[in-house]
Amino acid sequence: MTSYTARGLWLKATPILFVLLWSTGFIGAKYGLPYAEPYTFLFVRFVCVLAVLFVLIQFLNERWPREPRLWLHIGIAGMLVHGLYLGAVFTAIGLGMPAGVTALIVGLQPLVTAILARFWLSETINGRQWLGILLGLAGIVLVMSEQLDINNPGQLFVGFGWVAILSAFSALLGISVGTLYQKRYCTGMPLVTGTFIQYLGACLILGLGAWLFETRVIDWTPTFTLALLWLIFGLSIAAILLLMTLIRRGAASRVASLFYLVPPVTAIEAWILFGESLGLVALTGIAVAVVGVALAVKQPG
pTM of the model: 0.83
- Give pLDDT tens digits along the chain (301 positions): 455 465 555 556 677 788 888 888 889 999 999 999 999 999 999 999 999 999 989 988 888 998 899 999 999 999 999 999 999 999 999 998 888 888 888 888 877 877 787 777 666 677 777 787 788 778 877 877 777 666 665 666 777 888 999 999 999 999 889 988 988 888 888 888 998 999 999 999 999 999 999 999 999 999 999 999 999 998 888 887 787 677 666 545 556 666 667 778 888 888 888 887 777 887 888 888 778 777 766 655 5
DSSP the chain: -HHHHHHHHHHHHHHHHHHHHHHHHHHHHHHHGGGB-HHHHHHHHHHHHHHHHHHHHHHHTPPPP--HHHHHHHHHHHIIIIIIHHHHHHHHHHTT--HHHHHHHHTTHHHHHHHHHHHHS-----HHHHHHHHHHHHHHHHHHHHTB-TT-TTT-BTTB-HHHHHHHHHHHHHHHHHHHHHHHH-TT--HHHHHHHHHHHHHHHHHHHHHHH----B---HHHHHHHHHIIIIIIIIIHHHHHHHHHHS-HHHHHHGGGGHHHHHHHHHHHHH-----HHHHHHHHHHHHHHHHHHPPP-
